[in-house]
Amino acid sequence: MASYSDPSQWWRTLATSGETHHYIAIRDQIASRIGTDNLPPGSKLPSERQLQIGAGMARGTIREALFQLEAEGLIYRRDRSGWYVCNPPVVYDPTRWSGFMTYVAEQGHRPETQTLATAERTAGDAGVHVGVAAEATLYQIDRRRLIDGRPVLVERILVNPAMAPGLFRFSLDGSLSRILKDEFGVVVARNCVDMRPCALVGEQAAALGVKPGTPGLKLVRTSFDHADRVVEYDHEYWRHDALRIHVETIVTAD
Amino acid sequence: MASYSDPSQWWRTLATSGETHHYIAIRDQIASRIGTDNLPPGSKLPSERQLQIGAGMARGTIREALFQLEAEGLIYRRDRSGWYVCNPPVVYDPTRWSGFMTYVAEQGHRPETQTLATAERTAGDAGVHVGVAAEATLYQIDRRRLIDGRPVLVERILVNPAMAPGLFRFSLDGSLSRILKDEFGVVVARNCVDMRPCALVGEQAAALGVKPGTPGLKLVRTSFDHADRVVEYDHEYWRHDALRIHVETIVTAD
DNA sequence: GAGTGGTCTAGACCACCTT
DNA sequence: AGGTGGTCTAGACCACTCA
């Protein structure tokens, strides 16, 4: 982790900036530091109180600026540790998605998967999405995935046991799609993806180590095989700054 | 615009709630009101100062709760006017996108398009995306689109004049794709969509009437005809709470 | 002109991370 | 144990909206 440059040098031009609002001025100061200085991704910013003293402003004003930069995806916080410069986001293409592990590695980063919990549960309302009766049993997998050591998403996957009997024999700390293909001969032929901006709250926020209410992206993916049976039904909660989505589509309607 | 229920009744259970943080308790109070009370989309919430008095908390704490609800997409603010209950989001399916106007109407809402500016400009760096030389001329259209009277997106569209000579003869306060199809025989065959969470700042924030730094979604769409020529190159900035994306894809790789 | 949200100050205490 | 961000208070003035 690189350290930040001398805090006493952070405010040279502040008084001379033409900004109307203090927090915008600070935002611009920090943003330009990130752009030009030796503040590579992962660097730690000075503490809020250091910034406060350097800028001669109230701490609330400093925090307002930091929230802006967080919303823009330039910085993120580690709870009660500090503010850090973001990595560039991963590009997500549902049509070419070959799995998190290979995808992130291809883009030059270090992917990691942690299995938080596995369970067998009755399908209930979720059965509709997996194509089984409400009384049927489903495999449920909760995982957390990291890029360069930073948690970026949590997910809950539902799998029909008929597709992959004894799935839990295998380590799930890697690519699930590879296991399904290599061990069970199940291949994904079609994806259905639903996504929307959301706020990360409760368990999701806790698992990602973010403050409840931090903006995020919710992604629901249903994978089908060639016979149009559901392979995976997956709910993913992403940090908003870790993801870019790219889709190419043939226009079918009209 | 519906009015809110009696503010004196907003805090019945506050003292008895088991929440650890005040702002979470307030958030839950308001959220449950939205869920159960007569607070339909578009309703105005009590003012921050009314909520403050009713709850016996500092105004900053109240605002923290409101920001949470905003991030979750339950409420939004109109600058210096008040806080309002959100409409449900529009579902966006790039593969079935038949244009904003018809799409929103189909989902039971009132769409509206305002042309902010039109211009002819040299392509410059954007030429690469439209498939013309940097010295070529492009049509540029800035529009704002509203749902039920509320601005939800601003966009800048670039069109190759060779595809639609004299385009500005037509009113652009409607469906551009219809004009291209009906008047110029240009049909979209393939879409390329890129999206990522962003912060709405500067012009975009101003045009949408949101505070700079409000979270949003940036969507870049390139439309191609059957000959794979670029029909439109479009940058859209959406309110984060107005949109849900739905994609169905055939898996091509692997 | 009254009321609203937007910005800002100057404190305080806490839970948690780090060393 | 010291430092960090997280929460909270109690004020203030401003720009703007709305009636």
Per-residue pLDDT of chain A (254 residues; tens, 9 = 90+): 333 334 444 444 334 445 689 999 999 999 999 988 778 888 999 999 999 999 999 999 999 999 999 988 899 998 899 999 998 888 887 666 777 888 889 888 889 999 989 999 999 999 999 999 999 999 999 999 988 888 899 999 999 999 999 999 999 998 898 999 999 999 988 888 888 888 887 788 888 888 777 788 899 999 999 999 999 999 999 988 888 888 777 765 44
Evaluate whether B157 touches B232 at the Cβ level (below 8 Å): yes
Give the CA distances from residue B67 to residues B24, B48, B70, B74, B87, in Å, rounded to whole numbers and listed in that order: 11, 12, 5, 10, 17
What is the reported pLDDT for A203? 82
Residues of A in contact with B240 (CB under 8 A): 197, 215
Within residues 67-96 of protein chain A, the ones with CB less than 7 A from nucleic strand D are 77, 79-83
Evaluate whether A208 touches A154 at the Cβ level (below 8 Å): yes
What is the reported pLDDT for A19? 65
Of all helices (H) and strands (E), which one includes residue B177?
Answer: helix B176-184
The tokens of B200 are what?
Answer: 């709405």
Q: List A27's β-bridge partners, or say none.
A: none
Evaluate whether A30 touches A65 at the Cβ level (below 8 Å): yes
Cβ contact (<8 Å) for A245 and B96? no
How far out from the chain centre does Cα B226 lie? 29
A76 backbone dihedrals φ, ψ, rounded to 5°? -140, 165
Q: Distance between CA atoms of B171 and B64, rounded to whole angstroms?
A: 43
Evaluate whether A45 touches A83 at the Cβ level (below 8 Å): yes
- The separation, in Å, between residue A61 CA and nucleotide D3 C1' comes to 20
Evaluate whether B62 touches B45 at the Cβ level (below 8 Å): no
Strand C nucleotides within 7 Å of a protein CB: 3-12, 15-18
Of all helices (H) and strands (E), which one includes residue B55?
Answer: helix B48-55
Q: Distance between CA atoms of B192 and B222, rounded to whole angstroms?
A: 5
How far out from the chain centre does Cα B130 lie? 24
Q: Distance between CA atoms of A23 and A28, rounded to whole angstroms?
A: 9
- The separation, in Å, between residue A120 CA and nucleotide D14 C1' comes to 59
Evaluate whether A212 touches B24 at the Cβ level (below 8 Å): yes
Cβ contact (<8 Å) for A249 and B252? no
Evaluate whether B251 touches A188 at the Cβ level (below 8 Å): yes
How near does any CA of chain B get to the CA of A40, in Å?
20
The tokens of A74 are what?
Answer: 């330039």
How near does any CA of chain A get to the CA of B134, in Å?
25
Residue with tokens 């991030």: B71
Q: Among all protein residues, pick the one whose CA is nearest to the C1' atom of D6.
A: A80
CA angle A98, A100, A106 (to 5 degrees): 75
Evaluate whether B55 touches B62 at the Cβ level (below 8 Å): yes
Cβ contact (<8 Å) for A248 and B193? yes
State whether the beta carbon of A23 lies below 7 angstroms from any atom of strand C.
Answer: yes
Nearest nucleotide to the CA of A19, by C1', is C7
Query: Which residue among A198, A214, A247 places its CB closest to the CB of B247?
Result: A247
Q: Which of B245, B246, B252 would you mutate first to test chain A, the one with the most A CBs within 10 A?
A: B245
A216 Cβ neighbours under 8 A, 6+ residues apart: A197, A198, A199, A200, A204, A208, A210, A237, A238, A239, A240
Cβ contact (<8 Å) for B98 and A73? no
Nearest to A217 by CA among A173, A164, A152: A152
What is the reported pLDDT for A6? 45
Enumerate chain A positions whose Cβ falls within 8 A of a Cβ in B.
24, 60, 67-68, 71-73, 89, 94-98, 188-199, 201, 212-215, 217, 240-241, 243-254
CA angle B235, B238, B244 (to 5 degrees): 115
The dihedral formed by the CA atoms of A90, A31, B236 and A95, expressed in degrees to the nearest 10? 0
Q: List A44's β-bridge partners, or say none.
A: A84
Strand D nucleotides within 7 Å of a protein CB: 3-12, 15-18
What is the reported pLDDT for B251? 67
Give the CA distances from residue B118 to residues A107, B50, B114, B140, B143, in Å, rounded to whole numbers and listed in that order: 39, 44, 11, 6, 9
The tokens of A174 are what?
Answer: 């890697």
- Give the CA count within 13 Å in the CB-facing half-sphere of A183: 16
What is the DSSP pairing of strand B150-159 with strand B137-147?
antiparallel
Question: Low-confidence residues of chain B, pLDDT below 70?
Answer: 1-19, 94-96, 251-254
What is the reported pLDDT for A142? 93
Q: Residue ranges of the alpha helices (H) in B96-163?
A: 100-106, 127-130
Query: Which residue among B94, B189, B251 places its CB closest to the CB of A188?
Result: B251
- The separation, in Å, between residue A62 CA and nucleotide D10 C1' comes to 20
Evaluate whether A148 touches A110 at the Cβ level (below 8 Å): yes
What is the DSSP pairing of strand B243-250 with strand B82-85?
unpaired
What is the reported pLDDT for A200? 84
Query: Which residue among B67, B190, B199 places its CB closest to the CB of A251?
Result: B190
State whether the beta carbon of B30 lies below 7 angstroms from any atom of strand C.
Answer: no
Of all helices (H) and strands (E), which one includes residue A102?
Answer: helix A100-106
Of all helices (H) and strands (E), which one includes residue B31?
Answer: helix B22-36
Of all helices (H) and strands (E), which one includes residue A196?
Answer: strand A190-200
Q: Distance between CA atoms of B180 and B231, rounded to whole angstroms?
A: 9
Residue A117: count of CB within 10 angstroms of its CB? 9
- The residue in chain A having the minimum alpha-carbon distance to the alpha carbon of residue B93 is A194
Residues of A in contact with B196 (CB under 8 A): 89, 243-245
Q: Distance between CA atoms of A121 and A234, rounded to whole angstroms?
A: 15
Residue with tokens 């939004």: B76
What is the reported pLDDT for A90? 85
Give the CA distances from residue A49 to residues A9, A41, A82, B31, B42, in Å, rounded to whole numbers and listed in that order: 15, 22, 11, 34, 40
